[in-house]
Structure 1
């Protein structure tokens, strides 16, 4: 990694630990509040524990990192020799994480560029990797930011959930849409657009919805050179099957990442989530 540009992101990027280490990316954790416990994502609460809590209908909320946590990350980067930091975060429509990073950046010992990527999960992860690779190639702060923003623009995120109820509870989708889905007994396919979650299609069964998710990803990838991430929550078989079919069907596939989402995203989607991120190289 370039000694001059450091990369900070947050735990909702769901980057593999090996990638974080290889590129020296610092992922600041968000918090999951379960009952009276505030637990850091990635270290203090697992996706499995979160899924079980949701099944038992325990109250689960999420919280942004404090500005002090970002201040510490920026200070550590400066002490390690960086003379600039890029701080890349999930959509500001979902969380106050971006705002906390902006507050901390004002007092940082080196220039910090805070970017609302408008995305989440490995869509955010791909942005962080693009910035890190640009920095490692000797790129400036502006060039690394541009690489991340270009990656965000070329990335699409689609996902299936068994129910819209968790998204409704968390205020991530309108009550009317959630009630319509329940009344019609449809299985929703959703898309992340302009930093917000929107209904893409309504399909009658889970099997058809997952099949349609596959078709959408294949159509989006086309013949282009793409990286793909498949995410799930408590649905490893679905994820494994989808990822294998996409490996067989996407001719320009570069990297394929398969992972369970963390507790923060899982709290808003519920068990059964199956998502796919398509990112143009």
Structure 2
């Protein structure tokens, strides 16, 4: 059985790594005014954050169309796929998951003989990339579609995201404020720690400085142990290195670091750094 994995660009998996792992990435689109860029294809991490800081207006983001997913699914099926697992960012943050479902449901009848499982990760960035990379590894081992899907769904229930923002301004402007609205009164005087719940940004705590925020993140990571996996998603090298050095005082394994892409960066702003922690399965 030949199962293939599809995801979107908000997983923040580098294109070279995705290609080496046999993962198909369908990109979202970022608009600066009338200029459109394919996320992580035509606009990389450094280029995006430079534009974001220079732009007078907040960029817009757009989910892939069902046609884009259909093209990806059709290509894989015609290349011999006997099953497809399509894993995407939280449906509470984007219509990408729904686009993928629509694409699957409206494929030509002769292509529907190949099963396509579409999974709402309820996460984003490094919070879903580990499960996707592991799924791709399982396809190379010949594991079946149902078992791989079950693994991904199980891991996502154990996945936690914590992010430190320079400001809530971008979350506010992007309309993803959710339960974090209560923080707005202190927006300029804190380095808020936020998380995701039901696809919306929710407050965790409100440290006054970045160093205090990083120390608190390390403490929260320690409280989550035992961990199966820990990764950093960074808007730039400086904040990623700072957080990594603090985390290494409590976590002594390797900490992979990924670049936060344009879609998430649009809604969190420059200076954002996040961790994705996956706890060990309960015995």
TM-score exceeds 0.5 = yes
CA contact (8 A) 2:239 2:272 kept: no
Who is 1:17 aligned against? 15
- Structure 2 residues without counterparts, runs of 5 or longer: none
- CA deviation string 1:72-123 (max 9, x = no partner): 1101111221111111000001101011101110133122111111000011
Indicate conservation of the 8 Å contact 1:168/1:178, yes or no.
Answer: no
**Secondary structure of 1:203 counterpart:** coil
Unaligned runs of 5+ in 1: none
Shift of 1:126: 1.3
Equivalent in the alignment of 2:206:
202
Hey, what's the Cα distance between the residues in 1 that align with 2:91 and 2:155? 18
**Contact 2:214 2:246 (8 Å CA) reproduced:** no
Give, in whole Å, the separation in 2 of the partners of 1:178 and 1:36: 32
1:178: how far off? 4.7
Query: Where do residues 234-249 of structure 1 align in structure 2 (5 Å cutoff)?
Result: 234=236, 236-249=237-250
| 1:14 Cα offset (Å) | 0.9
Aligned counterparts, 1:41-56, within 5 A: 41-56=39-54
| Secondary structure of the structure 1 residue equivalent to 2:256 | strand
C-alpha distance in 2, partners of 1:92/1:229?
22
> Which residue of the partner structure matches residue 162 of structure 1?
166
> 1:128 corresponds to which residue?
132
- 1:21: Cα distance to partner? 2.2
- What are the Cα deviations for residues 10-37 of structure 1, in whole angstroms up to 9, with x where unaligned? 0010113343123200011000011101
Give the alignment of 1:106-125 within 5 angstroms: 106-108=105-107, 109=111, 110-125=114-129
Divergent runs of 4+, >6 A: none
Q: Is the 8 A contact 1:217 1:276 kept in 2?
A: no
Measured in 2, the distance between the counterparts of 1:192 and 1:238 equals 20
* 1:272 alignment counterpart: 271
Say if 1:62 and 1:264, in contact at 8 Å, map to a contact too.
yes
Question: 1-side partners of 2:209 and 2:242: how far apart?
Answer: 17
Residues 1:182 and 2:187 aligned together: yes
1:29 maps to 27
The farther-off stretch of 119-128 and 174-183 is 174-183
1:71 aligned onto 2:70: yes
Matched length: 273
Pairwise CA RMSD: 1.9
Q: Are residue 40 (structure 1) and residue 38 (structure 2) matched? A: yes
